[in-house]
Amino acid sequence: MLQNLSIILAEKRNFMFSFMENYLFNRIGVNRNEILEDYNQFIKVIRFCLLTTQRPRHDIVNLGLEYFNGTYVEFRNAIINSDWDNLIRVTYSSPGVKQKVGSLILEVFIHYAGLNLRLENKLFVPIDSHVKRIFSDCLGAYDVSERGLPTYPGQNTYSIFQQKLMNNTYNNLPRIYFDYLWFVGKVFCTSKINENDINIYKRSYRLCSICWLKDICINPDRWNYL
């Protein structure tokens, strides 16, 4: 299932790049090609990523911005020099950065901005509520790691799940394509309103027929709850 999924999602690369151009780069007023060399654009991207955490605390966000202000040159050089170990150390050591935000920061600079594609195969999939829900509810993967792990991967459920993804991509595709499930959960397959409510899907649009996962979803009759 994961290999087929990786193919389906990899085919959406051009779409997702176009989407992120508007959703992220144009939205905050930066040029994807300049976010590593221009400090002000760099900080704008970091701020965007820090604010994606659930219920962000502005004091923690400000501490994170201060941290990346001090480590900007080190972060930049680590990407340029393909120094992965130092890059993840610098990224995940920031206040307000756990697995999701840290992985997103790296994804933006390396995958979407394409600033060092030699590191693309090393990227971790940020596990947010959308990704976790689609993996479990639509694909039957119940071993997805928790969302709030505090550090970069070590011997924990996060690293075990990330390794599983890496081992189950088609023809060594980068596992970062699995993060496109975020878009599936955001647009095609919105979350339940209330587990005990018979009308749990009423606020969702019926988009199953055009969903990217319609041929492999284990829950194709979800709208029968209405």
pLDDT tens-digit profile of 129-152? 899 999 988 998 878 876 655 555
* Distance from C-alpha of 127 to C-alpha of 145, rounded to nearest angstrom: 7
Take residue 224 and report the two structure tokens written for it.
Answer: 């029968």
Task: Please enumerate in sequence order all residues whose Cβ is within 8 A of that of 102, keeping only pairs 6 or more positions apart, or say none.
Answer: 88, 91, 92, 94, 152
Helices (H), ranges, 81-171: 84-92, 99-106, 129-133, 157-167
pLDDT tens-digit profile of 154-211? 657 888 889 999 999 999 999 999 999 999 999 988 765 555 554 454 455 678 889 9
Q: What is the CA radius of gyration of the chain?
A: 18
Average pLDDT, the chain: 88
Local confidence band at 57 (pLDDT 50, 70, 90 cut-offs): very high
